[in-house]
Amino acid sequence: GINLNLMYQLMNQRISSSIEYYDNRISLYNTQWGKCYVTGREFASVDEIHCHHIVPTGAGGNDDYKNLILVKEAVHRLIHAKTEETIQKYIALLKLNKVQLIRLNKYRVLAGNQELNLI
């Protein structure tokens, strides 16, 4: 099952976004079984749960359930990272396998960034 304590913390977290965004975060936590969409690793704290807009709001994306995924903070930073230093920092931290890298690259491209290659 999922970590219910973490779900309750997520439910009680104050956010400044829409109610739709707030509700969809909770639904996604349940749907994703309390795990990061990219890595499949369980969330350890509410602070590391980041809600990523698949189509960025600046590019017309919204808070619809289908436009959101929950990822670990480090994954979210890597999705949006542009500098080589930042990319290398999070690549080293996350130690992604091939499947995880494919998932990550899908969201990097949709966010307007280049795919990453691990050698």
User: Whole-angstrom Cα distance, residue 79 to residue 56?
Assistant: 12
User: Whole-angstrom Cα distance, residue 72 to residue 79?
Assistant: 11
Tens-digit pLDDT profile for residues 39-97: 999 999 999 999 999 999 888 999 999 999 999 999 999 999 999 999 999 999 999 99
| 118 pLDDT above the threshold of 80 | no
Residue 29 pLDDT grade (very low, low, confident, very high; cuts 50, 70, 90): very high
Rounded to two decimals, what is the model's pTM?
0.92
